[in-house]
Amino acid sequence: MTAQPPAKGRFSLTTAISYPNGAPHIGHAYEVIATDAIARFHRLDGYEVLFSTGTDEHGLKIQQTAARQGTTPRALVDAMSEKFRHMAEALNCSHDRFIRTTEPDHYAAAQAIWARMRDNGDIYLSKYIGWYSVRDEAWYGEDETELGPDGIRRAKATQTPVEWTEEENYLFRLSAYADRLLALYENQPDFIGPETRRNEVASFVRQGLKDLSVSRTTFDWGVPVPDAPGHVMYVWVDALTNYLTVCGFPDEADLRWRNWPVDLHVIGKDIVRFHAVYWPAFLMSAGLPLPKRVFGHGFLLSKGEKMSKSLGNVVDPMDLIATYGVDQLRYFVLREVPFGGDGNYSHEAIIGRINADLANDLGNLAQRSLSMLAKNCEGRVPQPGPLTEADRALIAAADALPGRARAAMADLALHNVLADIWTVVGDANRYFAAEEPWKLRKTDPERMGTVLYVTAETLRAVGILVQPFVPTAGAALLDLLGLSPEARMLGHVGAENRLAPGASLPAPAPIFPRFVEPDAPAA
């Protein structure tokens, strides 16, 4: 049995939870895919992982959408949340929990954090007067809004309409936390990533913080404020608390509590303020440890435009999965978009990646080399002869992949992890072409065996490394190399676990078909 690399401790991470006021779009899929790749990478590296995703089901936006559709908020979220859950499954997401904020344990967590903030003297009753964007579920200061030529006032940052709101609310003493937040950003530079987001947040806080309205009385679709009839919690107080709920809060004896504080919140760039200002302030007030890192990824844009229903360019992730395949979609978004920046989606770009990187570079290499093994080596791993410099260089590049991947992953540079893997795939293709094993079959069969061995050993490393990104194809490649399920960890790459000469291999099968346009004429 293969020796197992040592366990490395825990790693917990979350996506944002999505508003189920409509069906999921490609932006939601992108976040799930990226977070899942990070979760899978850590499992692959021996961490015990807790990974959550889910839906954010309360608030005025949901209530208004339900009213517009002539249904109840409950019926709307039940139907829509199911679509998000289905999408996560279809994307091969390996989450441990899909949380819905309408679940009873979440009510208990939200009410418990509220009570702790109140008992700490940070919540008081007052009249709130200000601008509210239902679309963003966010309060804005006068200076953060502007009047458009159409006479409609909008939030400058998001261009969503705001409405004047005067209400007796509970307020959270956010103003008292500005210094502590600035100290946090200073002492823990990793707390917010990427750096541009950190600078934006710090400059926002440096301007001074106003107290935040944290309850609403004009509608009732929310978590009731404890001991305050008529008040429901501001949806963001409730929503952010989902991260505690999945860790078993408020029961600190719950085994899941070991996962708090989480290592990483993966969110989009538009909601960094909520996660890097409000959330740590709430936690400080409640006397709870802070998450270690908040990372705001960029937006996936449809040919450069923000997606919206009114622009008519919302891309249904289920259609993309059906058209291109799950692994293909996962690979495309993670490779194409530098993680943290914005990216573009287009049909041409995705088929370019599928056919060049997946079908040609990796798929063909595996298919050609494994078919030669099947035909010329009786379907067994050959015994390598003495290694040349070229053999050693390729094996060394493959062996170095886990170290490089860990370093890139520490910066959440997912695109670089993939770029590094494909550099080795490119090296392997050049090696294979230069060594011409198909000619060696007659002239020097032993050397042919060595070349095929070195290629297979490189594919073993590549197959192990790609699993977090393209889980189905990664597993299929490792199956073709005859690797047992317990020999597929990152720590198995390298000299100690080389393919065993003589081991028999299954019949080769293609792992990445080329994308052929459905209406293309038959070849």
* Sites of contact with ligand ME8 (CB under 6 A): 16-19, 27-28, 30-31, 56, 239-240, 242, 267-268, 270-271, 299-300, 307
Q: Which two tokens stand for residue 71?
A: 């249904």
State the alpha helices, DSSP H only, in 138-257.
178-187, 195-206, 235-240, 242-245
DSSP label of 386: S
Looking from the CA of 475 toward its CB, the CA atoms found within 13 Å total 9
Q: Which is nearer to ligand ME8, 333 or 487 (CB)?
A: 333
**Bond before 6 cis per omega within 30 degrees:** no
Q: Which is nearer to ligand ME8, 15 or 455 (CB)?
A: 15
User: What is the C-alpha separation between 293 and 276, in angstroms, rounded?
Assistant: 9
3-class SS letters over 253-310: CCHHHHHCCCCEEEEEHHHHHHHHHHHHHHHHHHCCCCCCCEEEECCEEECCECCCCC
Q: Which is nearer to ligand ME8, 17 or 489 (CB)?
A: 17
Using Cβ positions, the residue closest to ligand ME8 within the complex turns out to be: 268
Which secondary structure element, helix H or strand E, spans residue 473, and what is its range?
Answer: helix 471-480
User: What is the C-alpha separation between 296 and 120, in angstroms, rounded?
Assistant: 30
Q: Which is nearer to ligand ME8, 31 or 211 (CB)?
A: 31
Looking from the CA of 509 toward its CB, the CA atoms found within 13 Å total 10
* Phi, psi at 2, each rounded to 5°: -70, 135
Smallest separation (angstroms) from ligand ME8 to the CB of 279 = 8
Smallest separation (angstroms) from ligand ME8 to the CB of 197 = 12
Smallest separation (angstroms) from ligand ME8 to the CB of 300 = 4
Torsion of CA 232, 235, 236, 242, to 10 degrees: 90
Q: Which is nearer to ligand ME8, 90 or 400 (CB)?
A: 90
Q: Which is nearer to ligand ME8, 79 or 433 (CB)?
A: 79
Q: Which is nearer to ligand ME8, 78 or 361 (CB)?
A: 78
Q: Which two tokens stand for residue 450?
A: 């060595």
Smallest separation (angstroms) from ligand ME8 to the CB of 493 = 32
Smallest separation (angstroms) from ligand ME8 to the CB of 32 = 9
Q: Which is nearer to ligand ME8, 106 or 154 (CB)?
A: 106
Smallest separation (angstroms) from ligand ME8 to the CB of 230 = 24
Smallest separation (angstroms) from ligand ME8 to the CB of 134 = 12
User: What is the C-alpha separation between 198 and 316, in angstroms, rounded?
Assistant: 31
What's the Rg (C-alpha) of the chain?
26
Smallest separation (angstroms) from ligand ME8 to the CB of 299 = 4
